[in-house]
Every structure is written in structure tokens, then in C-alpha cells.
Amino acid sequence: MSQLAMVIDLNRCVGCHACAIACRAEWSVPVPYRRNWVKRLGPETTPKGLAFTFYPGLCNHCDDPKCTSVCPVDPEEKVFTSKDGKTKKVSVRATYKDPFTGAVLIDKERCIGCGSCVEACPYGARYLNEELDDPKADKCTFCVERLAHNLEPACVRTCISGARIFGDLSDKNSQVYKIVSSGKAVRLQSKEVSIGPNVYYVGKDRDVLLLQKICTPHERRWENVMAPVRRGILKAAIRKLAKAV
Amino acid sequence: MRRRNFLKLSASACAALAALRLGDKDVFRPAQAKTALATPKLPGSLGAKEITSVCEMCFWRCPIVGKVKNGRLVKIEGNPNSPANGTRICARGNSGIQLLYDPDRIKYPLKRTGARGEGKWARISWDEALDEVAHNLKEIKKKYGPHALAFFDHGASAEFMRDIFKTLGTENYTNEPAFFQCVGPAALAYLKTYGYVTSGTRQYVDMKNAKAMLFIGTHIGENVHVSHVKEFIEGLQNGAKLVVVDPRYSAAAAKADVYLPIRPGTDTALLLAWMNFIITEGLYNKEFVEKHCTGFDELKKAVKGYTLQWASPICDLPVKDMKRAILLIADNSPHVSIHPGRHSTWYGRGDTGRHQALAIMAALFGAVGVKGGLYFPTPIKKGHPDFGCAEEEPDTPAKSISEDYYPFASTFGSPTSKIIEATITGKPYPVKLWGINGVNIIQTISNPYHTMKAIKKLDFVFCEEILPTETAIWSDIVLPGATYLERYDAVYTFDLMTPYLTVRQPVVAPMFEVRSSFWIARELAKRIGLECFNYNNEVEFIEEELKGAGLSLKELNKKGGIISYKANPYRSSKEFKVATEDGKVQLAVEDFADEDLDPIPKFIPTPAPPKGYVRLVYGRSPVHTFSRTMNNKWLHNEVPENHLWLNEKVAELTGIKDGEEVILENQDGYRSWPIKVKVTPGIRPDTAYMIHGFGSRSKQLSKAYKQGASDQFMVTEYEDDPFMGASSHRTNFIRIVRAGKVINLPELCPPPKDIPRFIPKKNRTGGK
């Protein structure tokens, strides 16, 4: 099965924040929300020496996404189409993992803006866009809309040092596959949070140690989302909305 | 209440609040939301109209493409046809949209109604604004002579207005802070060593093909020029070794193989000791030196006394580390990038010398005109339109404030410090009018208190500005300039490794009543009665420039807005010749000796911090340009304020905590605005660091105002480079004020006897 993935090379990254802004421009992400971000880490002492590096983060399009399972919207059948025209019918909520690309996406028409998925993500990769009159959850899509036009993701296109390597992990000729299968790349996961993120990082030992120390999630946030309670509230809201219309 | 917080509440409270919100009609806004979701046909920037142009969020000027949907600029990307950056642009380049649509922009011509600096204005017409500027230029020239007029400028668009000042006959028509507060000393050092400005607006250093690189204070990565960063990273990826010398662990230092945390102000000691080492150990390129250099014997003699053992306590570096670093470079020579640096106005005395030492070092390794070394520009042919600005007979002042003070100043213009001094004192002649274009002088020039004092003395001051900066609020008339996205400029040629020719052209129509710099200069010239600007508009002279390259604007646009050329950067030993008088690299500069200046650099110690203080240094954030971008909505959101980097041991001993907000007090008693402390092992204990450009004092910059502290307002002590008159910026010291209490900082790296201690102004006898 395909899985879109990104490898971020910290040896190349200079922490310039171009990725964060290109994404903001491409998808009109209002300040202060973000689909992706750069956090500046250090200088700090690590067991492997002094490190000063960056955490360019985005949605990890996880193997086992928790954001999709907390969505309170009733599942509906959705037909997915692959690049080569194959179709697959899957029952999905308002946010789901595309069975052909592995991208975790949001159906904006069906999203009720309850924010459950925002709360559930251990990486803080989602936000609820309250600038909209009808708030919706939003996040990185790996720019699948651009991929459909044979364009790379906006962050990859602008990356000044070529630090963002993007591709399909199922394609053995892809650079992402080569790097990930070499075992050199790390995923930001812990004993507590191990849901298969598909953004990988490579870099000097000291930089990776600092990144892991500061940015690995440990909180199983999805377990604190009180879905049943909220689902009731929101269903009521939807009923009232339907009546009003 | 924000939706997220709402979700964090307990279940019952949540239900209760939700019920409340359900009763609120505002909860349901389906109609608008549906339309928001329905548009447009193609998402994001897909399907937008594309116009090629040139960025000016900084002055590297990357080729770009503006993407316009429904008349609105939605995205900026790198021009895919650009051989330098391709589709890549930095955070600032991406954020040009927010300069264009900044609600704080100056929208109309303004006339000051309050006191200078108060920021009270009345909207006036273009006619009134231009008439007033023209009248003052004429009257002040008539009353005090042409030199009473002075112009401060930066950037391509300022060149048109510069022509007016030049035509009016003042010697003070080019006083670029870009030279006198930034690159001047480096530019002069390389000009005299190699006959061309290896480091000015551009740095001709082949990092992509280097086997090793040496940076002295250069912090590429935090200082972002896209193709320069790209080549640096490509070089590292190709396996180049990197030596970084910097009192701070910069983004570049973090990528280094050898990092030398040098004592600030001692770089030249290190360079001289290294030169002596490579000469005595025979590690220099004898063939290159013999064939292509003059002055080697003098150099050898001059550096003889400088040993690594001598430099060690001065630089506060172990001999073995200094040796390891230079051997790494020597082992990879001649394919080594001895980076020439850029911003070089650090300590005043010795700034030109430090960069001269770097220039000499490159020659000793033969790292010139070869892969990985310094390289030659590739000139690109274009036409040179004749603006017809008839210069009047130059009226030489009895005493020049340029060349009579500093022998090499006039290469660049008049030193900004001398113009400010003359404005305050009236000596050697009165300066009564300033024009300012493209530079926020109050956040750029050393000692802003002097700058403001001088402005108060002027008869008239005007500026062309985009945003209500400090400089704008101190001006009598403000002319609203067009951003780079709303105007044509000129044809740009790029003569580095990836040569190209391109043109800046408007991506959208000018907003409000803003006008292009060319239009403003032309209108002004007309009103002064100057014979100047023979073209009706920019397109006319751009066509003239393009004709010289065998092109037209239409053809250029058809070709993607850019033409690439083949670079000619290297020279064989047979071809090697530099543009000096004898065609050879000058290891000892006779022109300097002729002016009683050192032909070969000497180590001139810069005074060490007074007890209780540390030296203040500053640098760049990759998301900001000088003080120009702090009000940009997107960039402000990434890095809204600066922090003071303080060594962790110093913090521990004084009880200062990470994230704590403090005030800085400099050696002259000036205090900063509040700034948060970043406690880190990545800075020397005798040094503190902050990003330049923050702490805006203009209330009209709604996002930038009072965000962080201004390093510039801590720079009250400066001395001029004796060669070319640039003002120093790293000759100031700070201690910390916390909750009203002054905290003296402990001295953990006491200076050796060779380095005198700084004496505050009030304790000095004689001199300045």
C-alpha cells in the first residue's frame, strides 16, 4: 500500500522558516494557526556535544492516526480512487486516512468543527479555524491537491536548502524509501505515543538527540478527548441547525 | 471564548456552556461558510496568473513569480527558470504579500503636524508634497551651498533620487548605511587586495565546490541569501569541512567540524597567527604566491612575531584547536572557501585589516580563481540608458567630510557619522537638509541618539517610505513609495556562479496613492528645474537596457522573465590576473601605506568589557531583514521579538532565569526596552547576543512597536574605521537591570594584559 512520507534532513535545514510561510500562503492559513512550523532548539548540551537545530514539524499522516478515530461525525461510505484508477469504498468519518496515499485528510463539508481531532493529535498538528464563520478543523494535507497537478508540496517547493524530501514509501526507487529503509531516519515517537508518524528526521547524533528530547510526544492526548459527551452536544447543535435552515 | 479552551472544560461545564452557545444565533453561520467552501475552482495558488519579477525583501534580489488571483497577490514563489534559486525563496520572500497588504502602510503623502518624532501627520496632495520638497532643496542649496544637502539611501529604487542630489552638486549624495554601517571595511579590503569587490552586495566565494570552508563570524543560515545558503549546504553535502570562528554557537557553527568560540575583537590576532603558521610551516601555495602575488616578503616579516602560542590567551582558544582548524583548511587547499564576510563594521579600528587578513589568507592558499575558492564575476552585457542628468560644475568644499577625514571614504560616499556630526556642529560646513530613501536610519546607524539630535537641527528632512518607521515619524514630509511588487525598477544582472539577467516588474497595480521611486524622482526633478530623467516611464529605459542585451521586455517575458548565462569564474595559472595595477594580488597594499595606514594588517586590540559588563553583539534572524520586516504579519508571527542570549554560567551565578524579562543598561547608562533572556551554553560568558532590528519605537507599526529590544539603541559608543570611516557596532557593553535592580555580570574570561579595558566616556582624559 502507498504511504506518502517526508524525510527532513537536519544537516541541510538552516531553520529559515520558508516552509512555514509558503504553506501559510498556499492554503491561506490565518495567523496564528499553522499547518506546519519550525521550532528553534538550543543551543543546548547533549551527550553528543552542543546542539543547535530545528524542529520543522507538520502532520505526520500516521499509520495509526488517532485523530480520525475520535471524530464524532457518523461514518459514511466514501469511494477513493487511486492514481491508476482503482477504486475502494471505505466507511469514514469527517477525517480519515486515504487508503491509496496514506494521507490523513479532512472532509470540510462534513466536519462539524467540534475540535475533537485537534485535541487528540499528540503532535499538535491540527487547528480549529475559528476565523471561519463556520469553524472547521484544518491541517497539512501533504498538498495532495498540488500532487494531483504534478506539483510538489508547497513547503518542499520553497525549501531553500533542499532539506525536505518527499515521496511514496512503497516506491522502492524513491529517496524517502531509500533513506527510511537505511535505518538512519528517526520518527518522533515514544513508548506512550507510538502511532507510526510518517515524517522522519535525519541529522547529526547531537541534533537528533536534542530533537527527540524536546519534541517527542509522551501524552496520549486522544484518550482525553471526551467524545461521547461532546458527540451528544454536537448532535444537538446539528439538529438545531437543521431546523433553523 | 476560543473554541479550544471551550473543549478543555469539564464535561458538565462544557455541556452547560454549549447550551448557552446553542442559544446564541452566532453559533450557526452556514450560509457564508458554504460560499467559502465552494470557491475557487482550483485550490490554493493553483490556476493563478503568474508574473515574473525580482524580490526585495532583502537585497540579494532573488528572481520570483507573483501569483495573482482576482487581482490579489496570493502567493510568491521563486522563478523556476532562475539558475540561482529556482522555485526556492526564503520566509521573507514568501511574506512579501504581507508587506504589500500591510494595513499600516503609508498610503498618501504626509506632512508633519506635530514635533519631529511625534508621528502626527496631515494628509496632503502629491503636488503639495513634491512642491514642498523641491522648494526646500532649492532654497537650502541657495542659502548654504550644495553640500548642505545630504542623502541617505539603500536599494535600487533609491538610485533615482540619488541622481537628484548628485545633480544638485552635493558631495553627500551617497551615504549608504549599507557601506558605512555594514559591508564597507570588507569591500575596501578586497577591492585593494584583488581589484574587485569580492564582498559587497555579493560574495564571490565558491562554497558549492569547496573541500573546506572558513567562516569568521559569518552566520549563514541565520543570515539568509537563498542561492548563497543553497551553495553552502551543497558544499557541506559534497563533504566539505567547515571551520567556524564565532563567540556564539550560530546555526553555521552547529554544522561545523571545528568550532572556535573566540574572544570577541581578537579575530585578527588569530588570522595573523594562522598566516605566520602556514608561512613558517610551508603550508602556503608557493607557486601561486610567487606567480600571482606581490608583497610576500613584507607579509612574512610583518606576521613573524604572531605565533599560535601568542594568540592563544588573546583569543582564549587552545593552541591545539587553532592548529587543528588551520590544518583542516590547509589540507584541503587550494579548494577552500575563505569566506570574505559581509557585515564588517564591528570594532572600528582594525575592521578593514581583519578582512584584509582574510583576503590575504585566501591568496596564501591559492584559493582564488579555482574551484572552491574566491572567484571572478561574470559580467553580463546590458544597455546603459542616459538619464541626461546634467551634473553641475562640482563645487569642492574647502574641507570634505569624506576624503579629508578618511582617505578611502569617497569610494563609497560620505561617512554617515561625519554627516551627522556636521549636522550637529555645523563643522566643517553646515548640513541643513536630509533626504532619506529605503533605509530606516534611526535603527541602522550607530548612536541613534546622535541621529535624532541631528535631525532636530535640520531645516528640512523628507523621506520616501513604505511603512511608518522611526525615520518616517522624524520626517517633515513623507512620500509614500511603492513596494517592489507594485513597480518596475531596472534590469538586474547577477554575475555570480549562476549568472542571469532579469527585470523587476509590477505584480499588482500600486495601491492607495503610492508611486514608484522613478515617478517620484522625475516629478521632483521637474519641479526643481533639473535637466534629468529623459524617459517618461520605467519601461522606456528598461527597453533601452534590454536592447543592449539583444532583448525586449516582451521577449524576456516570453522566455520566463529571465535569461541564464554561462559562468566564467575560474582562471588557469596562465590566465590569472586581477584588476590591481600590476595585475597581482596585493599581500601588502601600497595605497594604504601611501596614506600612512598599515599596508599589512596588525593586531589592534579592541578594549575589553568594563568590570560588571559583557560585550553586546548582534546578528540576523532568517525571517527578518534589518528592521524592515518586524511589522510583517507572517514574519512577526514566526519571530515576534528578540531574546538576549546569556551564557548559562553567568545566568546561574546571577540567578537570571531562562525566559525572564529584563532591561539592559549599556556602559553609557542608556537602558533598553524589556527583553526576555535566553540562557544557553551557546554563547561566551563575556558576550551577550541579540537579533538586530527589534524594539521599534514607532507606535504606528502596530505589530513591531515595542516588540523586543533594539540593539541599535544600545550602540552609543562607536569609533570610525580609519580607512573608510565606517562606524563600529560591537564596541558597547551591557549589564542587566532586573526589577529595578542593577546586576553586575561576573567576569569568567578575564582579558589578558595585552587587551586594555574599556574606559567609559566620563572617565576619559583627553581624546574623544
- CB-based contact B634 A113, cutoff 8 Å: no
- CB-based contact A15 B90, cutoff 8 Å: no
- Pick the last residue of a domain from B328, B358, B377: B377
Give the distance from residue A132's alpha carbon to the nearest chain B alpha carbon, in angstroms: 7
Identity of the residue in A43, A128, A146 whose CB atom sits nearest the CB atom of B3? A128
pLDDT tens for residues A95-120? 999 999 999 999 999 999 999 999 99
H or E segment and range at residue A179? helix A175-181
Interface test mutation site (partner B, options A14, A204, A221, max chain B beta carbons within 10 A): A14
Residue B19 pLDDT > 70: no
Q: How many beta carbons lie within 10 A of that of residue B388, not counting itself?
A: 13
DSSP strands (E only) in B579-668: 585-586, 614-619, 643-647, 661-666
- B256 φ/ψ angles, rounded to the nearest 5 degrees: -80, 155
Instruction: Give the chain B residue whose CA is nearest to the CA of A162.
Output: B230
Q: What is the DSSP-derived secondary structure letter of residue A75?
A: P
Q: In chain B, what residues touch A157 (CB-CB under 8 Å)?
A: 77, 87-88
Residue B663 pLDDT > 50: yes
Q: 3-state class of B419 per DSSP?
A: helix
Instruction: Give the chain A residue whose CA is nearest to the CA of B645.
Output: A43
Residue B493 pLDDT > 80: yes
Q: 3-state class of B186 per DSSP?
A: helix
Residue B27 pLDDT > 80: no
Q: 3-state class of B617 per DSSP?
A: strand
- Residue-averaged pLDDT of chain B: 93
Ordered by start, the domain boundaries in chain A are: 4-244
pLDDT band at B2 (very low <50, low <70, confident <90, very high): very low
Contacts of A189 (CB under 8 A, 6+ apart): A195, A196, A197, A216, A217
Measured distance CA(B653)–CA(B557) in Å, rounded: 62
pLDDT band at B395 (very low <50, low <70, confident <90, very high): confident
Give the distance from residue B188's alpha carbon to the nearest chain A alpha carbon, in angstroms: 30
- CB-based contact B45 A12, cutoff 8 Å: no
The candidate with the shortest Cα–Cα distance to A53, out of A163, A144, A157, is A163
Domain membership of residue B411 (yes or no) is: no
Parallel/antiparallel/unpaired status of strands B614-619 and B733-738: antiparallel
Q: In chain A, what residues touch B23 (CB-CB under 8 Å)?
A: none
Q: 3-state class of A74 per DSSP?
A: coil
Q: What does the pLDDT profile of chain A (245 residues) look like in tens digits? A: 799 999 999 999 999 999 999 999 999 999 999 999 999 999 999 999 999 999 999 999 999 999 999 999 999 999 999 988 999 999 999 999 999 999 999 999 999 999 999 999 999 999 999 999 999 999 999 999 999 999 999 999 999 999 999 999 999 999 999 999 999 999 999 999 999 999 999 999 999 999 999 999 999 999 988 755 566 566 657 756 776 76
Give the distance from residue B525's alpha carbon to the nearest chain A alpha carbon, in angstroms: 40
The helix, strand and coil proportions of chain B, stated in percent and rounded to the nearest 5, come to 35, 20, 50
> Which amino acid appears at position B275 of this protein?
M
Mean of the pLDDT values across residues B572-598? 97
Give the distance from residue A46's alpha carbon to the nearest chain B alpha carbon, in angstroms: 11
H or E segment and range at residue A88? strand A87-92
The answer to whether B666 and B734 are in contact (CB under 8 A) is yes
Measured distance CA(B759)–CA(A170) in Å, rounded: 68
Measured distance CA(B399)–CA(B427) in Å, rounded: 9
- CB-based contact B255 A11, cutoff 8 Å: yes
Give the distance from residue A48's alpha carbon to the nearest chain B alpha carbon, in angstroms: 12
Q: What is the DSSP-derived secondary structure letter of residue B713?
A: G
Q: What is the DSSP-derived secondary structure letter of residue B663?
A: E
The candidate with the shortest Cα–Cα distance to B533, out of B548, B518, B513, is B518
Q: Count of A–B CB contacts within 8 Å?
A: 184
- CB-based contact B88 A157, cutoff 8 Å: yes
Residue B307 pLDDT > 80: yes
- Sign, CA dihedral B347-B352-B358-B360, equals negative
Q: In chain B, what residues touch A132 (CB-CB under 8 Å)?
A: 33, 36
| Total number of residues shown for chain B | 768
- List C-alpha distances in Å: B203 to A122, B199, B229: 44, 5, 12
Q: CA angle at residue B341 from B733 to B404, to 5 degrees? A: 75
What local confidence, expressed as pLDDT, does residue B155 receive? 84
DSSP annotation string for B245-275: E-SB--TTGGG-SEEE-PPTT-HHHHHHHHH
**Which domain CATH number covers B733?**
2.40.40.20
- CB-based contact A162 B221, cutoff 8 Å: no
Identity of the residue in A50, A118, A237 whose CB atom sits nearest the CB atom of B682? A50
pLDDT tens for residues B420-434? 999 999 999 999 999
- CB-based contact B91 A145, cutoff 8 Å: no
Instruction: Give the chain B residue whose CA is nearest to the CA of A236.
Output: B22
pLDDT band at B36 (very low <50, low <70, confident <90, very high): very low
How many C-alpha atoms does B142 have within 13 Å on its Cβ side?
7
The answer to whether A52 and B254 are in contact (CB under 8 A) is yes
- List C-alpha distances in Å: B572 to A73, B152, B759: 71, 42, 52
Domain membership of residue B357 (yes or no) is: yes
Mean of the pLDDT values across residues B677-701? 98
B679 strand-pairing partners: B646
Interface test mutation site (partner A, options B10, B45, B82, max chain A beta carbons within 10 A): B45
Query: What is the dihedral angle through the alpha carbons of B464, B66, B203, B226, rounded to the nearest 10 degrees?
Result: 130
What local confidence, expressed as pLDDT, does residue B144 receive? 97
**Which domain CATH number covers B216?**
3.40.228.10
- Pick the last residue of a domain from B359, B377, B395: B377
Residue B38 pLDDT > 60: no
What is the CATH topology of the domain spanning A4-244? Alpha-Beta Plaits (3.30.70)
Q: What is the DSSP-derived secondary structure letter of residue B182?
A: I
- CB-based contact A16 B4, cutoff 8 Å: no
Q: 3-state class of B37 per DSSP?
A: helix
What local confidence, expressed as pLDDT, does residue A227 receive? 57
What local confidence, expressed as pLDDT, does residue B175 receive? 81
Q: How many beta carbons lie within 10 A of that of residue B761, not counting itself?
A: 12
pLDDT tens for residues B109-123? 999 999 999 999 999
The answer to whether B259 and B314 are in contact (CB under 8 A) is no
Mean of the pLDDT values across residues B31-41? 43
Q: In chain A, what residues touch B221 (CB-CB under 8 Å)?
A: 14-16
Query: What is the dihedral angle through the alpha carbons of B270, B276, B282, B284, rounded to the nearest 10 degrees?
Result: 60
| Total number of residues shown for chain A | 245
pLDDT tens for residues B102-159? 999 999 999 999 999 999 999 999 999 999 999 999 999 999 999 999 999 998 789 9
Domain membership of residue B705 (yes or no) is: yes
Give the distance from residue B226's alpha carbon to the nearest chain A alpha carbon, in angstroms: 6
What local confidence, expressed as pLDDT, does residue B4 receive? 37
H or E segment and range at residue B299? helix B296-302
Identity of the residue in B22, B44, B226 whose CB atom sits nearest the CB atom of A145? B44
Measured distance CA(B254)–CA(A46) in Å, rounded: 13
Instruction: Give the chain A residue whose CA is nearest to the CA of B98.
Output: A25
How many C-alpha atoms does B399 have within 13 Å on its Cβ side?
11
pLDDT band at B33 (very low <50, low <70, confident <90, very high): very low
What local confidence, expressed as pLDDT, does residue B10 receive? 36
More confident residue, B531 or B440: B440
Can you list the alpha helix ranges (DSSP code H) found in B168-239? 177-178, 184-194, 226-237
Residue B13 pLDDT > 70: no
pLDDT tens for residues B231-283? 999 999 999 999 999 999 999 999 999 999 999 999 999 999 999 999 999 99
- CB-based contact B15 A160, cutoff 8 Å: no
Residue B526 pLDDT > 70: yes
For the sheet containing B63-69, what is the strand order?
A: B49-54, B63-69, B72-78
Residue B193 pLDDT > 80: yes
- What's the structural domain count of chain B? 3
- CB-based contact B682 A11, cutoff 8 Å: no
For chain B, what percent of residues have pLDDT higher than 90? 90
Q: In chain A, what residues touch B220 (CB-CB under 8 Å)?
A: 14
Instruction: Give the chain B residue whose CA is nearest to the CA of A231.
Output: B15
Q: In chain B, what residues touch A142 (CB-CB under 8 Å)?
A: none
Identity of the residue in B27, B226, B637 whose CB atom sits nearest the CB atom of A160? B226
Domain residues for B23? 3-38
pLDDT band at B760 (very low <50, low <70, confident <90, very high): confident
Measured distance CA(B362)–CA(B334) in Å, rounded: 8
Interface test mutation site (partner A, options B5, B17, B255, B624, max chain A beta carbons within 10 A): B255
- B564 φ/ψ angles, rounded to the nearest 5 degrees: -100, 150
Q: In chain A, what residues touch B96 (CB-CB under 8 Å)?
A: none
B463 strand-pairing partners: B436, B478
